[in-house]
């Protein structure tokens, strides 16, 4: 991959069911970078809330975002690139993830509520129930042009989405 992204830390973001884990794994394989599943960093209390169909609030997300920052900062200290998944739904969440971290860039997996509902209905074994999708879309603030973000439509196959992201990463400063 080109040198212009060799020091990047990518946060694959979007609402639940948008394909963050799948795309992050494919990007990790294509780039040879380490990948972390952001959901694994949720405190047990958050997972229980979601299992009971209770949406997370900003206070719930604070320790989770701090854990993601720790992963990012570890990669930065080791001068490594990396990929991590995180819904990063609100601009202020993204601000906390990027504060003083110019190498962080978001990969926003954008899709219609209908498409994502269909995907969630087929998903099994995940603690996030499909009933919370409305709360995710209610919280979603799409990345702005001021943010380092690559936006991709998720209507294609995971492989095609990954190729589109790789091509767009080449255009980053």
Residue 2, pLDDT score: 41
- CATH no. for 3-169: 3.40.50.300
Helix (H, G, I), strand (E, B) or coil at 153: strand
Residue 124, pLDDT score: 61
Residue 3, pLDDT score: 41
Which runs of E-coded beta strand occur in the chain? Answer: 9-13, 35-36, 82-85, 104-110, 149-153
Tokens coding 152: 């991709």
Distance of CA 26 to the CA centre of its chain: 13
Q: Which is more confidently placed, 150 or 125?
A: 150
Q: How far apart are CA 84 and CA 39, in angstroms?
A: 10
Confidence of residue 1 (pLDDT cuts 50, 70, 90): very low
Mean pLDDT over 80-103 rounds to 96
Q: How far apart are CA 95 and CA 70, in angstroms?
A: 15
pTM for this model (two decimals): 0.91
Residue 49, pLDDT score: 87
Q: Which is more confidently placed, 46 or 23?
A: 23
Distance of CA 120 to the CA centre of its chain: 16
Cα end-to-end span (Å), the chain: 14
Helix (H, G, I), strand (E, B) or coil at 10: strand
The structural domains of the chain, with segments of one domain joined by +, span 3-169
- What are the tens digits of pLDDT across the range 28-52? 999 999 999 999 999 999 988 888 8
Mean pLDDT over 119-145 rounds to 77
Mean pLDDT over 134-162 rounds to 94
| Residue 135 bridge partners (DSSP) | none
């Amino acid at each position: 991959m080109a040198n212009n992204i060799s020091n990047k830390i990518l946060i694959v973001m979007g609402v639940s069911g948008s394909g963050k884990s799948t795309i992050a794994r494919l990007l990790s394989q294509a780039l040879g970078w380490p990948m972390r599943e952001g959901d694994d960093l949720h405190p047990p209390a958050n997972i229980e809330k979601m299992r009971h169909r209770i949406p997370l609030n900003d206070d719930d997300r604070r320790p989770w975002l701090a854990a993601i920052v720790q992963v990012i900062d570890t990669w930065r200290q080791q001068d490594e690139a990396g990929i991590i998944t995180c819904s990063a739904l609100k601009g202020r969440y993204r601000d906390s993830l990027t504060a003083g971290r110019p190498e962080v860039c978001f990969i926003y997996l954008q899709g219609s509520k209908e498409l994502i509902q269909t995907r969630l209905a087929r998903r099994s074994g995940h603690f996030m129930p499909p009933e919370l999708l409305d709360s995710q879309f209610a919280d979603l603030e799409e990345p702005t042009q001021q943010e380092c973000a690559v936006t991709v439509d998720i209507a294609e196959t995971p492989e095609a989405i990954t190729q589109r992201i790789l091509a767009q990463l080449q255009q980053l400063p």
